[in-house]
Structure 1
Amino acid sequence: MTPALTALEALEDAYTRQGPRPSLGPVIGYVGADVPVELLTAAGAHAVRLTGDPALDPAPGTLYLGTGVDQMARSILTRLLAGAYGHLDRVVVAHDREASLRLFYALRELRRVSPQLDLPETYLVDILHLPHLTTARYNRRRIGEFAGRLAAWTGRPAGGEGLGRAVAAHDRRRRLLTEVAQLRRAVPARLTGRQFLAAANAGLPVDEHITMLERLLAETPRLPAQPGRRVLLSGSEHDTPHVYEAIEAQGYVIVGEDHSFGDLAFERQVGEGGLDALAEHYHDNGPAAPRATVAERAAHTAMAAARCHAELLVSYARAGDDAPAWDFPAQRAALEIPAVLLDRQEYGRVDLAALRKEDPCAV
C-alpha cells in the first residue's frame, strides 16, 4: 500500500500540477495580485492563477507583446496561445503592473481579430493605488462592475452573504499562511523558501487549501531544520520556483520575500464581507515594487528583514522589470545587513556567480 502523503508533499503536488478542475464549476484564470479572488469564490468559480514557464520558448507571446515586456507576461501569453492551461471559461487580468495591462490588451485584440485562436473572453480589473479619495471611489466602482460581470457570467450573485462567506474563507487562509510563514522565519528555519512557495500557491480551492494548511501546521514537529544563510528576497515576482531552487541549492535559505506569490499575499486581511471593504483592501494591497514609493519599500524591507532574521538581502530584478533596481539604494541604506542587487536577470534564471561575488560571506 502506498503511504499517505504528508501535508507538505500534498501541497507540493498541488503546486506542481497547477491546472483547472472543471468539475468545480466555471474555471476563471487570473493574472495579477489585484484580482479580488473573493468575488470569484463567491460567484462559484474555480480561480486559477496563471503562471508562466521559464523552460518554454516565449517567441509566440513575444510576437505580440514585444521584447520590452516582462518575460513572465510573454510566457503566460505563449501558454494561453498553446492551450496549456486546459479549459478556461474566462481570463481576468489586473492592472497591477504595465506588463499585465499589455497582456490584457493583447488578449482582447487577438480575440477580436483572430477568433480561430479560441482565446477566452478577457476582463480587466483596473484597481489603482494612489492615496486619494477619488482613487478609492474609482476602485469601488470597478469592484462593483466586476461583481456584476461575474454574476452575468455565472448566474450567481458575487455579493451579499456569499461574499461574506468567501471573504471569511480567504481571510482564514491568510491567517494560516501567516502561521506557516513563521515556520521559515524560525531560527533555524523549518521550511525552505521553495517549500513555502508551494504551500502558499498550491492550486487548490480555498476550502481544500485551508484543510491542507491546517494539516501542515499539525505536522510541524516532523519538519526538519533547514540550515543555510538566511536570505530576504526582494524585487520581481516569482510565479515559478526556479529562482528559489537555484539560490537555495547554493547553501542559502529564503526566509522571506516581498512579492505577491509570497508574503504580500497574506499580510493584510479584508475583515468585513462587503464590496466597500474589498475595494479598500485591494486599494492598499501591500508595498509591491511596481506601485509603492521608494521610501515605503525601504521601510517595509527593514521591517521584513528584522522579522525573518535575514542575514542577506537579495534584490532580484528581471529584465523588463525596472522598478526593483530603483528601490535598491534606499533598501540597502535602511538595512544593517549586506545587500546584493542582481539586475536584468532572465526569467526563471539567476546569475549565481554574481551572487557569490557580491555576498561577503559566500563560500
Structure 2
Amino acid sequence: MERLVDHYERRYPVEAGGFVIGCVGQDVPVELVTAAGALPVRLAGRPGTDVAAGETYLGRGVDPATLSVLTRLLAGEYGRLDRLLVSRDCEGSLRLFYAVRELRRLEPGLGLPETHLVDVLHLPHWTTTRYVRGRFAELVAVLERWTGTRLTEQRIASAIALHDERRELWRAVSAMRRDLRLTGVQALAAFGAVLPVAEHNRLLRQVLESDPDVHAGRRVFLTGSSHDNPDVYRSLEGAGGVVVGEDHDWGDLLAARLVGEPTLAALVERYQYNGPTAARASIAARAAHTARAAVDRGAELVVSYVRRNDDAPPWDFPAQREALRRHGIPAVLVDRQEYGSIDLAEVFVG
C-alpha cells in the first residue's frame, strides 16, 4: 500500500519515458490511450493555492477544482504533457477545454499542449450510441496522429483487458474498507496512483495479498462533489470517521462498470452507460445508487459534501436522504464548502 500512496502523492510532475497524455474528466476512454502506447494521467487540482490565473480565463463562477487544474496547466506544474484530452463530463471541464484551445491559438508562448474534446453523451438510446461511436472513431484517428501508433483491434482488446482487470482489482481493494482494513485516504491512493496500468495492477494485487491493520471509527459514506485529492477524507478520518465508500468519479464509480467484450463497440457502451454521476444522472437513479452502495458498505452516516459552485449535488440530496432513511442510515448535507476543506461541525452533529 505504501508504494501506491507514494505514487499517488507524488503523481505530479510525472516522470515517464514514453508519450504522456493528460486527461480531464471520467469520460476519457483511457483504454484507447493505453492502446496507443501512451500513459494516461488524470489531472487533479491542488487545494489551498492561488487560482488567480485560472480565474483570469474562466471567471469566479466555476468549480474551484477546475480553476486549480487550469492554473496548474498554465504554471507547467504537471511536468511534461505531450497532449491533453478533455471530456465533456461537466460544465467546468467543457469550459476548461475551450479556454486551453483558445489560449493555444492566441498565446502560443504559454506552451499549453494540443487538446482534443471527448464528447460522450449518456442517454439510453441507439442514436446516442451511434453518436458516441463517431466520437470514439475520431479519437482513434487523433491518437494515431499524435503517437504514430496504429490502434489495431488487437491493441484495443489488450488494453481493454488490462483496464477491466484493474477495475476488478479496484473493486476488491476498495471493498476492504467494509471490514475497516483500509481507510478512505488509502483507497483514494489505490484509485489515483499514476502508473502504467500493468504496474498498477501488480501493486493492487499486492494490497489484496497483504494483512493490513484494522481501523476504528464511524463508518462514513461520501456522496456529492468528487474528490481529486485526499484532504476532505483526511479531515473526516482525523475526526474519528472512516470513509468506507463513495459514489464520485475519482473513487468507486471508476470501477462500477466493466467493458466486458474486448471490442471498440463494447467500450463505447461502457462510457455511454457509466455512472450515475450528479452532473448527468436522474435524481432517482442517484438516490437508488447511493442507498445501495451505502448499505453494501455498512455505512453509519452518509455525508453529501458539496463544493462551492458545484450546483448539481444539492438537487440529489432530498431523494438520497429519503432512500437512506428507509435503511435507517442518517444523512447530512454539507454545502458550499471550499475546495479541499469541510466544516466538521456540520458533519458530526450530535
Whether the TM-score (by the shorter chain) exceeds 0.5 is yes
Residue of structure 1 equivalent to 2:185: 194
Residue of structure 2 equivalent to 1:73: 66
Contact persistence 2:173–2:208 (CA under 8 A): yes
Deviation at 1:349, TM superposition (A): 0.6
Say whether 1:64 aligns with 2:53: no
Say whether 1:328 aligns with 2:321: no
Residue of structure 1 equivalent to 2:137: 144
Equivalent residue of 1:225, what SS? coil
Residue of structure 2 equivalent to 1:341: 333
Residue of structure 2 equivalent to 1:5: none
Residue of structure 1 equivalent to 2:128: 135
Q: Distance in 1 between matches of 2:348 and 2:299?
A: 17
**Runs of 4 or more above 3 Å deviation:** none
Say whether 1:22 aligns with 2:13: no
Range with greater deviation from structure 2 (33-42 or 346-355): 346-355
Say whether 1:294 aligns with 2:283: yes
TM-score (norm 1): 0.94
Deviation at 1:159, TM superposition (A): 3.7
Say whether 1:355 aligns with 2:344: no
Contact persistence 2:224–2:313 (CA under 8 A): yes
Name the amino acid aligned to 2:16: P
Deviation at 1:241, TM superposition (A): 0.5
The residue correspondences of 1:1-363 to structure 2 (distance < 5 A) are: 8-19=1-12, 20-23=14-17, 25-186=18-179, 189-219=180-210, 221=211, 223-335=212-324, 336-357=328-349, 360=350
Equivalent residue of 1:22, what SS? coil
Q: Deviations over 1:238-294 (max 9, x none)?
A: 000011001111000000000111100012110122211111000011111111000
Q: Distance in 1 between matches of 2:19 and 2:174?
A: 31
Deviation at 1:132, TM superposition (A): 1.8
Aligned positions, number = 346
Deviation at 1:348, TM superposition (A): 0.6
TM-score (norm 2): 0.97
Name the amino acid aligned to 2:348: R
Deviation at 1:22, TM superposition (A): 3.1
Deviation at 1:356, TM superposition (A): 2.5
Deviation at 1:210, TM superposition (A): 0.5
Identity rate, percent? 57
Deviation at 1:163, TM superposition (A): 0.6
Q: Distance in 1 between matches of 2:346 and 2:261?
A: 46
Q: Distance in 1 between matches of 2:222 and 2:280?
A: 18
Deviation at 1:133, TM superposition (A): 1.6
Deviation at 1:21, TM superposition (A): 2.9
Q: Any unmatched runs of 5+ in structure 2?
A: none
Q: Distance in 1 between matches of 2:216 and 2:119?
A: 42
Q: Distance in 2 between matches of 1:159 and 1:295?
A: 40
Contact persistence 1:159–1:275 (CA under 8 A): no
Q: Distance in 2 between matches of 1:233 and 1:156?
A: 40
Name the amino acid aligned to 1:266: A
Contact persistence 1:21–1:46 (CA under 8 A): no
Equivalent residue of 1:93, what SS? strand
Q: Distance in 2 between matches of 1:10 and 1:218?
A: 14
